[in-house]
Amino acid sequence: MQENFTFLGKITQGLVEIARIPEIQYQYNPRDLVFQRDKVKLYHYHPKVKKPISIPLLVVFATVNRPEILDLFPEHSFIGRLLENGMDVYLLDWGYPDAKDKDISLNEYVTDYLDHCVRYILENTHHPKINLLGICQGGVLCLCYSILTTNIKNLVLISSPIDFQTKDNIIAQVFKKLDIDAFIKLVGNVPGLWLTHFFISLRPFELVGKKYLRFVDQIADREWTARFLRVEKWLYDAPDQTGASFAELIKDFYQQNKLIKGEIYLGEERIDLANLIIPVLNVMASEDEIVPVSATRGLKKYIRSEDYSQKIFPSGHIGIYISDKVGKSMPKAISNWLKKRSL
């Protein structure tokens, strides 16, 4: 009986803590907003070493979630550790699209917003080229951009799908027969909260039942609880997706797998993977169910880069940025790879 009362007490306390999530404020390593175009913002982080690597590194997260996951715990975040390893880091923030942005396409994300951010960095640092790091769907955008321009010296991709129809790609299976045009006509922009619940539904036991049972069990650990709540804030802080770009992503990439077929066009420009000749580091998470390794590791056979490397880390799609073990080794590995190619 006493155990039941204790458990109920933990649940009550847990509910009180969860109710505080809207009050939690993101914290960041020191940074400055240096450029903005519409809702898209570009931040420059303060260096952590006296002489950071001279070539700037632009980090581009997916539009589907907020980039805060990369700096969620500033004292030991992915971006923080890039800075500690001597990187000069810029971060692109796609912002929160609203109904007025429903027609923004993937072409505009790449050739307008991303291009303007790159050009700002080039003009203000007086470098002829920069390094580019793209994550998940943001990696696909960076891959396309690197094919269309000569502004990129080295390209790093993390959990970036290339072949969208491998057998273990759960998202492709779910969206295989979706009438995406009818869906977008119905909803306009795709609600971020809907996407959050969709991703959770792919692993309901682990991301709902198991997770919250552990939260209740650890409720007395204030440091652990604070970390948990900050991750929860990020998880449900998902921006809406513009109807045009989401329809393109599902139809052209997941349903028709046009990227590896050389049939993706941004404006009038065809994205031919064979035209990617710059050095590429392809990073994967071994337990990633959103972008399985099989969807990523085939990149080498489609591109013509003579300097291709790949690394696989033992983690999941999000854990790769916040786990203590991988959180240290991955930024170091990326930084070392870039340093060798940034002379």
Active site residue 117: no
Q: What is d(CA 73, CA 322) in angstroms, rounded to the nearest whole number? A: 8
Say which residue the tokens 């941004």 belong to.
266
HEC string for 112-168: HHHHHHHHHHHHHHCCCCEEEEEECHHHHHHHHHHHHCCCEEEEEEECCCCCCCCCC
**Local structure of residue 12 (DSSP, 8 states):** H
Q: How far, CA to CA in Å, does 124 sit from each of 116, 118, 217, 230?
A: 12, 10, 50, 34
Q: Are 247 and 180 in contact (CB under 8 A)?
A: yes
Catalytic-role residue among 117, 136, 142, 144: 136
Q: What is d(CA 39, CA 26) in angstroms, rounded to the nearest whole number? A: 19
Q: Are 134 and 142 in contact (CB under 8 A)?
A: yes
Q: What is d(CA 155, CA 172) in angstroms, rounded to the nearest whole number? A: 26
Catalytic residues: 136
